[in-house]
Amino acid sequence: MPFRFIHTADVHLDSPLKSLALRNADLGALIGAATRAAFSRTVDLAIEEDVDALLIAGDLYDGSQTSMKTAVFLATELARLDEKGIRTFLIRGNHDATSRITRELTLPESVKTFSGRAEAVSVEADAPFEVAIHGISFSNPHAPESLLDKFRPPVAGAVNIAMLHTSLGGAPGHDPYAPCQPGELDALDFDYWALGHIHQRSVQGAKGSIVMPGIPQGRDIGEAGPGTVSLVTIADDRSLTIEPRVTAIAQFERVALDLTGLDDWAAAIDAMGSALRKARSKAECDHLVARLEISGETPLSWRLRRDADLLLGEAEAQAASIGKTWIDKIANTATPPATLDPANAEETGAPVHELRGLILDEVMQSPGYREALSELSRDLMSQLPGEVRAAFGEDEAESEATLAALAREGADDILARLQTTSGSDAEGGEN
CATH code of the domain containing 94: 3.60.21.10
Reported confidence tier of residue 107, pLDDT bands at 50, 70, 90: confident
Q: Do 75 and 147 share a domain, yes or no?
A: yes
Question: Which of 283, 315, 338 delimits the end of a domain?
Answer: 338
Same domain, 232 and 104: yes
Could you give the CA distance from residue 349 to residue 356 in angstroms, rounded to a whole number? 10
In this structure, are 75 and 99 located in the same domain?
Answer: yes
Q: Is the pLDDT of residue 98 over 60?
A: no
Same domain for 389 and 375, yes or no, is yes
Residue 171 DSSP symbol: B
C-alpha to C-alpha distance for 136 and 131, rounded to whole angstroms: 17
pLDDT one-digit tens code per residue, 42-55: 999 999 999 999 99
Q: What is the mean pLDDT of the chain?
A: 85
User: What range defines the domain where residue 186 resides?
Assistant: 3-246
Domain endpoint, select from 180, 212, 246: 246
Q: How far apart are CA 328 and CA 23, in angstroms?
A: 8
Whether the pLDDT of residue 211 is over 80: the answer is yes
Long-range CB pairs of 221-226 (<8 Å, 24+ gap) are: 221/252, 221/254, 221/289, 221/291, 221/328, 221/329, 222/173, 223/199, 223/252, 224/251, 224/252, 224/253, 224/254, 225/200, 225/251, 225/252, 225/253, 226/251, 226/283, 226/284, 226/285
Q: Which of 2, 90, 86, 91 is nearest to 46 (CA)?
A: 86
Same domain, 41 and 103: yes
Q: How far apart are CA 26 and CA 346, in angstroms?
A: 41
Distance CA 260, CA 282 (A): 24
Q: Report pLDDT for 24.
A: 84
- Which range of 201-210, 373-382, 415-424 scores highest in mean pLDDT? It is 201-210
Q: Are 327 and 315 in contact (CB under 8 A)?
A: yes
Q: Based on the fold, state whether residues 113 and 210 are members of the same structural domain.
A: yes
Is residue 279 located within the same domain as residue 332?
yes
What is the Cα Rg of the chain in Å?
26
357 vs 56: CA distance, rounded Å: 55
For residues 34 and 181, membership in a common domain is answered with: yes
> Looking at the predicted structure, is the pLDDT value of residue 224 above 80?
yes
**Domain final residue pick, 205, 226, 246:** 246
- Looking at the fold, whether 281 and 408 belong to one and the same domain comes out as no
> Are 241 and 255 in the same domain?
no
Q: What's the sign of the alpha-carbon dihedral 94, 98, 103, 104?
A: negative
Same domain, 184 and 256: no
Tally the domains of the chain.
3
Residues 184 and 278 in one domain: no
- pTM exceeding the 0.85 threshold for the entire prediction: no
